[in-house]
Chains A and B, each alone.
Chain A
Amino acid sequence: MMVWRICLVGCLMLVVLGSAMAVIYSQYRYRLLFLEIQKQKKGLDQSNVEWRQLQLDVTTLTDQNKIERNAVDKLKLVMPSRENIIYVKPK
């Protein structure tokens, strides 16, 4: 009877030890995964920042005010007068 008891306690102690190790391992895995997520997030953030910057560049470059200024100043284009505008209509 006594031997059984000792065996049982021993087994339970092993189980407790195993579970403690599992907790430690899962905590360790969690840390690793969290770090990986953070790394990916940083990459995503960086891409986001770049995307916003590019969006801004596109909008600034395609700003109609700017295009018109360049068309008039650099390319010497003029706005056609009312009489010179022709409606092109398919037959």
Chain B
Amino acid sequence: MNVFHAKKMTAAAKDDFTARRRFLTAIMLAGMCVLISRAFFLQVLDKQHYIEIGEAKQVSVVELPAHRGMIKDRNGNPLAVSTVVETIVIDPSALGSEQLTEHELFLIRQRELKKRKEQHSKLTGEQQAAEVSKYKIEKANGIASMETLLQLPKGHIAKLVKEHAINKNFKDNHFYVLAKNIDPERATQIKSLGLLAVTIRQESKRFYPTESVSGHLVGFTGRPPKKGDDNKEMDRKDDIDIGLAGMEAGYEQRLKGTPGKKKVLLDGQRRIIDDIESVQAPIDGQDIELSIDQRLQYLAYRELQRAVTANHAKAGTMVILDAKTGEILACANQPQFNPNNRSELQENLYRNRAITEVFEPGSTVKPFIVAAALDGHYISYNDIFHTHGTFQIGNHTVRDTSNHGSMDLTGVIKHSSNIAVSQMALRMPPQYQHSTYQRLGFGIKPGSGFEGEVRGKLSDYHHWKDFDRAVHAFGYGFNTSALQLARAYTALANDGMLHSVSILKRDDNDDTYIEPPVRVFSPQTARNVRAMMEHVVSKEGTAPEARVDGYTVAGKTGTAKKAGAHGYTENSYFSVFAGMIPAKNPRLIAVVMIDEPHAGEYYGGKVAAPVFARVMAGAMRILAVTPDKQETMPVLLTQNHYTKP
């Protein structure tokens, strides 16, 4: 019975355990399933998400800035250079110690001591107090030294700290830009002061070492207008400057370069501990070499400034071209503009007038009419022109400055007779006159590569009446930039071949397409007209002051009335001189334009010609051009042969 009972009990117990075991197993299995599925979810399905979170906490991608290319002159002298400057940023909350307890101050001091590898632990109470007072003295001295180094008034930083504690908006800001554009040497001195709340950040800044001498050409860079002010926490992207005017703007793509990226490891305070890998290497911007010769540019700048001041003129411009290649060797403007000085960033100051502004060329175009008339056989070298001071065309009268009587072709150029060139223009068809001007580049952009160049205005010849044909012959009714006028003169300087112009240096090894020279006049005509233009600088000519001792000069003066809202004004003139030197085999071409001289003289021969002479005399020496008219200057013959070093 007992056995039976026992058996019965055992079976019952066995049944109970099975159920329990099954139940437990099921729970355990379910738990395992939950864990496995969670692990699967974390490690397989959502793996990327967690990798990203982890990396975001420890790994970051930072930008590697690319250096902006330099702008150089033709001899490699820098005109625009980017260099590193330092920005001093302070955390006013950490710099002020008034609100901190003795213990907090000691903790800061302890950090400092640890950094200096001095004893910083197991200090007695007295030692701690001594360290805190040392810290206070060192900090006060450090702040005073920093103020001296940054040339800030004494107590300036203390005032900032106080202001920071009071001002609520200011309080949230832990970064305050104390000083910008600090040279690296001074920044190192500040760093050596060892102030904890001072951070030094490197920034790139564009410098223009030649200042206002080539300011109009190189232009300037700046930051596009953005929200926020300088004292807010600095965004590193703010460091990037872009070209806003001149060559800086025109060649932005070539100069700017491409910033790179690298992955870095960060610590808990998001400071960079180590580099991990390069994501993208930065590509520095390319340097660009201008055709400008800084020495000539300086001469042009100096003499133009002198002339504009002496003549109480509104503005002035001078362009010098290489007669053989069409490269722009100098391009100076007044009023001056210094790109280093941010207060001068006004459009009327930084505009490059030589390329972007037009004026009526006046008599400077007369040699073209003479050459065109000779080439077209509308006149001959033996022709005599009879003038009597005035010449009637319909209801209009053309006047000369005085009655020059009868004259030959040389006389026409020498005395700058409006009447004689009007007679020539009336002999040729208007279409021929127009096409000559057009082939000389008037009314067409010169294509120098400078952004914003103007084309000038040359109206359709179909609308020209006789008087229009006459006025176009003596430089009214159409307009040109100084660069266009200088370019047109290459046709006379180069025996009839008109050159394309360039602001970039033309290199023999460069593959850049250069527009080939175009024939406008026959070689003989160009040479003969040049010879006629040499008389302009003679004593009887209109510009004896354009003479350069030792050299033959060919040129032409121009004095044009300025057009106002109600026709031509009476007392405002453009005084122009265009010339080439040496006349026999021109090396340089220059155009000088003085806008509104108000000191009495206004004729091109009196106002603009002396600038030409002074600049060219210097330029000939700089370029070591052998004098071709030695009888006009004292010559010292020496035994020894001078060899160029």
Contacts and interface: CB of A to CB of B under 8 A. Distances in A.
Interface of A: 30-31, 34-35, 37-38, 48-49, 52-53, 55-56, 59-60, 63-65, 68, 82-83, 85-91
B634 A86 contact: yes
A41 B588 CA distance: 46
B212 to A, nearest CB: 8
Given A56-B207, A65-B211, A88 B77 contact: no
Interface string B628-645: 001001111111111000
B627 interface: yes
Contacts of A87: 550, 627, 630, 633-636
Contact of B641 (A52, A53, A90): A90
A60 B207 CA distance: 10
A86 B84 contact: no
Nearest to A91: B637
B363 to A, nearest CB: 26
Interface residues of B, number: 40
Contacts of B207: 56
B636 A86 contact: yes
B78 interface: yes
Given A52-B83, A86-B634, A65 B275 contact: no
B209 A49 contact: no
Dominant SS among interface residues on chain A: helix
Most central of B77, B209, B298, B633 by chain A CB within 10 Å: B209
Nearest to A82: B549
Interface in B521-549: 549
A83 B633 CA distance: 8
B184 interface: yes
Contacts of A89: 630, 635-638
B640 A90 contact: yes
Dominant SS among interface residues on chain B: mixed
A12 B294 CA distance: 73
A86 B549 CA distance: 10
Interface of B: 67, 70, 77-78, 81-84, 183-184, 207, 209-211, 213, 262, 274-278, 294-295, 298, 302, 549-550, 617, 627, 630, 633-642
Contacts of A60: 209
A86 B491 CA distance: 33
A90 B642 contact: yes
B640 to A, nearest CB: 7
Contact of A91 (B77, B276, B639): B639
13 contacts: A34-B276, A35-B275, A38-B278, A53-B83, A55-B70, A56-B78, A65-B302, A85-B549, A87-B635, A89-B636, A90-B641, A90-B642, A91-B637
Nearest to B262: A38
Contact of B210 (A30, A48, A59, A86): A59
B638 A34 contact: no
Contacts of B84: 49, 52-53
B209 A52 contact: no
Nearest to B301: A65
A56 to B, nearest CB: 5
Given A35-B275, A59-B77, A85-B617, 11 more contacts: A52-B67, A53-B184, A56-B78, A56-B83, A59-B81, A59-B210, A63-B210, A87-B636, A88-B638, A89-B638, A90-B640
A88 B636 contact: yes
Contacts of A64: 213, 294-295, 298
Nearest to A30: B277
B60 to A, nearest CB: 15
Contacts of A65: 210-211, 213, 298, 302
A32 to B, nearest CB: 12
A63 B274 contact: no
A59 B209 contact: yes
Contacts of A91: 637-639
A38 B627 CA distance: 57
A35 B83 contact: no
Contact of A34 (B278, B627, B635, B640): B278
B640 A52 contact: no
A34 to B, nearest CB: 6
Contacts of B213: 63-65
Contacts of B67: 48, 52
A35 B635 contact: no
B635 A63 contact: no
A86 to B, nearest CB: 5
A87 B638 CA distance: 10
Contacts of B298: 64-65
A83 B276 CA distance: 71
A68 B302 CA distance: 11
B634 A52 contact: no
Contacts of A48: 67
Given A56-B207, A88-B642, A90-B642, A49 B83 contact: yes
B207 to A, nearest CB: 6
A13 B640 CA distance: 90
Nearest to A61: B209
A67 to B, nearest CB: 10
A59 B210 CA distance: 8
A7 to B, nearest CB: 33
Contacts of A31: 276
Nearest to A55: B78
Q: Which 4 A-B pairs have the closest CB atoms?
A: A59-B209, A64-B298, A90-B641, A38-B275
Contacts of A34: 275-278
A82 B610 CA distance: 12
Contacts of B638: 88-91
A75 to B, nearest CB: 18
A87 to B, nearest CB: 5
B554 to A, nearest CB: 20
Contacts of B633: 85-87
Contacts of A55: 70, 78, 81
A88 B630 CA distance: 11
